Structure 1
Amino acid sequence: MQKKILVFELCTELEQELVRQQLNPDTLKRYRKVLKEFSAFGGEEVYSQPLGTDFLIQKFKADGGISITDEHSRTEAYYYRCIRILTEYYNFGIVHIRNDFKGEVIWPDGFRACTESYLGELVEDGLSYAYINRSKSVIKDLIIFLDDRGIHRPHDITTEHNDAFIKSYYYLSPKGIASKLCILRRYYRFLYLNRHIQIHLAEKLPHACINGRMKIPTFWTHEEIEKIKSSAERVSPSGKRAYAMIILASELGLRIGDIRSLKLSNIDWEQKKISIVQHKTGKPLVLPLTDDAGWALIDYIKGGRPITESPNVFVRHRQPYDAFPVNSTMNHILSAVLAKAGIASDSKNYGWHTFRRSLATSLLQSEVEMSTISEILGHSDPDIAGRYYIKIDAQNLKKCMLDLEVKDYVRG
């Protein structure tokens, strides 16, 4: 549990932090309104998470209940979000609003030593940045959940607390639940083996039943990819950058993480090849530098890339012109091009990885061996292409269909 602090003092501290982070003036104005009302509600009381919950209940009860369809619902979202930010700031000393947040989480005293040791073990085991970041998010949610119930150290977690926390994930997809359960199971196992908890909670977690992927993955046809390429303007520096990234994704099948971290030293211009160590798998990958990719890179590096000491090929176009943060999805770059191409859609899972799926589909339809496709895409498991990308190859799916014998008595 964090130190005791009055509500109005905590609200004042948070407001100062929001100002320091240079929030959008309109957003800051809305948050200030919520903090002012919460201070009036319980300013002289010692802050606790249940107090924030009581404030929200009273607020929306006075306004006639919770609305989900009209303009008022957007106002409610700010109230929920502001109180949530206040809870995180109280428990962890952070304001996590931007995607490029790089600060360190200050774990509450009761969880600090064990959680920092656990995360350190993940780093030593070579787990990816993305996995460690997801783990922090799940553990943070768990601590907030427990704080609301007066639990401030792992030793006091019961099976009932564990079950209630899992139920809070009811809104997620089966795959999303399975991912969080996997992270939680590993965390609980560490706590139990290191005697931070007495109950083997990892064994009490349910096993989500996920029979493969729930949906057929999305992909783009050759015509759609050509339309995307032609929609990327190649005049402005940002346009040249977007086009070069799209070429690397569509023709070489590189993951966006590897494109984001691509170094100038990774490109061998004489041998016409790109050599990287994949961010996701940690395995080396060497790919031929196609003519389109080569000229797109040259056009950006010579005519669009700012003068910078960054070793990365792709950098921000605002000072100090450094590399993109490792957790940046770069979706804002692609979304603008998709909108111009007229194929952007909120209803489908379109993104940078769609280029990778589309390349695999094209290769499958050209009857390229699956082992070769896995080699091109740098899979850690050679069977991935067979288990996954075959699902989006309609032509090969038809080959898998069984010819059913139609009996004479059915024909009539």
Structure 2
Amino acid sequence: MLENYYVRPASVDRIRASWIAPAIEQYVNWMAEHGYTPRSVLHRVPVLVEFGEFAKTHGANELAQLSDHVEPFVQAWIRRRGRGRCASRRSRLAHEIRNPVCQMLQLAIDGYVGPGRPHKPENPFERQAPEFLAYLVEEKGLRPRTIYQYRFHLRQFATYLDRNGIGLRAVSPTVISGFITEYGPRVAWTTLRNACGTLRVFLRYLYREGVVSRDLSSLVEFPQSYRYAGIPRSIAWDQVERILASVDRRSPCGKRDYAMLLLLATYGLRACEVSALSLDDVDWRNERFRIRDRKAGNTTTYPLSAVAGAAIVDYLKNGRPATTHREVFMRMTAPLAPIQSAAVVSRAAYFIRKAGVSVPRTGSHVLRHSCVQHLLNAHFSLKHIGDYIGHRNISSTQIYGKIAIEELRSVAQGDGEDVL
């Protein structure tokens, strides 16, 4: 595989003369399989060869000992080549050196994890309530995304208890009130509401399992809120068109982003629904596509518009990298993998800012709300709109009545007799 990247045999011989040459070649094969460019390979291999020499000089003689020399090697590299650079550039340089070394060691050493982010436990109360997550799946039938939110809020509660030295059996109404009082000002009321819901379910489970002697779930009060108090994050349709026009469709990345934004704005899809769209979901012969496993648990089939279909075809033919993955939208940088919902949100936010559109909070949901406003302006009923964007209950769609600007204006400007 090295011969595919190096023209001179002497260069290949120097690499294979390294005592970690098998690990380097294994890593090169891995990079080739995951779509790394030749430039990336040529940049990383010399770093690995130098790392092997550094580790050998400092006493390493087998692969298992290499993990102890990663950070010393990175710091030595920074001292030698990072002089005169700002702190952010040195940090970026350290990542560029550390990343290929850690990736190689993950392939070469069984069980090597590297200095990544600290692992967060799936269940922060594993010792006291080990079956709680299984209870959420098997008895309550919650979806993976909902369980992810449960884990997040449980970690916040566990952190509060640890910081105050409180055991789970010692939880009392005062402790619960203290957690909510401290956590509430730091988050939106919707996040606090979800945290209170998680806490009620968890406390009820603890009482059922005998972990606590009293059912405290009823003492968790939800934050006071008023229905339809919020305003949907919608923008005018001419602003949506300005966002779409800001995408440079000459590059593969632009072709992908344009197709994703069209799906968000035309069909009001969620970011997770766009990222999960697969080639098997598109029926080209009948000009339609389906969105499976929606938030409400249903599946929706849409007609494929000519504009959206042309954008997807352009991306598939001229922008999508060659891969065996069935998902439509892929990452544009190695390692090749399907794009995630967070990336869809990020790209939508980027183009909203690029187009100069001002919204309270950027993201893909701005286009979803704008799609609903566009349908309202076309005088579609809330029931039809709810079915179109995948709402299970009409009450979820009713809030969008607040953005029926023309209808509300006619009420405000009228004499009120029609209302009476």
| TM-score, normalising length: structure 2 | 0.68
Query: C-alpha displacement at 1:399, in angstroms?
Result: 4.3
Correspondent of 2:240 among 206, 209, 225: 225
Partner of 1:149: 164
Which of 118, 125, 146 lines up with 1:131 in the alignment? 146
**Rounded Cα–Cα distance in structure 2 between residues aligned with 1:266 and 1:256:** 16
Question: What are the Cα deviations for residues 165-220 of structure 1, in whole angstroms up to 9, with x where unaligned?
Answer: 11112313333322211111111111112211112121111232111244312212
Counterpart AA for 1:398? R
Measured in 2, the distance between the counterparts of 1:311 and 1:203 equals 46
Distance (Å, rounded) in 1 between the aligned partners of 2:203 and 2:225: 22
SS in 1 for 2:350: helix
CA distance in 1, matches of 2:190, 2:390: 24
2:344 equivalent to 1:333? no
How far has the Cα of 1:113 moved from its partner? Answer: 4.6
- Measure, in 2, the Cα distance between the counterparts of 1:214 and 1:186: 26
Alignment pair present for 1:278 and 2:303? no
| 2:31 corresponding residue in structure 1 | none
2:392 is the alignment partner of 1:377 = no
Q: Which residue of 2 aligns with 1:191?
A: 206
Q: For the residues of structure 2 that align with 1:405 and 1:290, how far apart are their CA atoms?
A: 41
Identity of aligned residues (%): 25
Distance of aligned partners of 1:120 and 1:360 in 2 relative to their CA distance in 1, 3 Å threshold: same
CA, structure 1 residues 96+140, in 2 after alignment: closer, same or farther (shift >3 Å)?
Answer: farther
Any idea what SS the aligned residue of 1:275 has? Answer: strand
Separation (CA, whole Å) in 1 of partners of 2:334 and 2:244: 28
Cα contact 2:243–2:355 (8 A) shared by 1: yes
2:264–2:271: 8 Å Cα contact kept in structure 1?
yes
Partner AA of 2:373 in structure 1 = T
* Aligned equivalents of 1:174, 1:142: Cα separation in 2: 16
Tell me the CA shift for residue 156 of structure 1.
2.2
Match of 1:208 among 213, 223, 238: 223
Give runs of aligned pairs for residues 306-321 of structure 1, distance below 5 A.
Answer: 306-321=321-336
User: Structure 1's 192 and 399: CA in aligned 2 closer, same or farther, altered over 3 A?
Assistant: farther
DSSP-derived class of the 1:306 partner: coil
CA RMSD of the aligned region, Å? 3.1
Listed one character per residue, the Cα deviations across residues 308-340 of structure 1 (whole Å, up to 9, x for unaligned) are 111110111122311134x62523212332233
1:241-287 Cα offsets, whole Å, 9 max, x none, are 11000010111111111001101100000010011213312201000
Change (3 A) 1:215 1:149: same
DSSP 3-state at the match of 1:199: coil
* Structure with greater Cα Rg: 2
CA drift of 1:403 comes to 5.0
> Are the counterparts in 1 of residues 349 and 364 from structure 2 also a CA contact under 8 Å?
no
In structure 2, the residue corresponding to 1:168 is in which secondary structure? helix
How far apart in 2 are the matches of 1:383 and 1:144?
A: 35
Q: Partner of 2:184: helix, strand, or coil?
A: coil
Change (3 A) 1:367 1:29: same
The offset of 1:349, in angstroms, is 2.1
Aligned to 2:262: 247
Name the TM-score, length of structure 1 as normaliser: 0.69
Number of residue equivalences:
315
Q: How far apart in 1 are the matches of 2:225 and 2:389?
A: 25
**5+ residue gaps in structure 1?**
1-14, 31-92, 407-412
- In 2, the alpha carbon distance for the partners of 1:361 and 1:405 equals 25
2:407 to 396, 400, 408: 396
Q: Is the 8 A contact 2:260 2:344 kept in 1?
A: no
Looking at structure 2, the residues matched to 94 and 151 of structure 1 have their Cα atoms a distance apart, in angstroms, of 32
The 5 Å alignment of 1:2-401 reads 105=121, 107=123, 111-124=125-138, 125-152=140-167, 154-171=168-185, 172-325=187-340, 328=342, 330-343=344-357, 345=358, 348-385=360-397, 387-401=398-412
Deviates more, 1:234-243 or 1:365-374: 365-374
SS, match of residue 274 in structure 1: strand
| CA separation of 1:95 and 1:157: change in aligned 2, threshold 3 A | farther
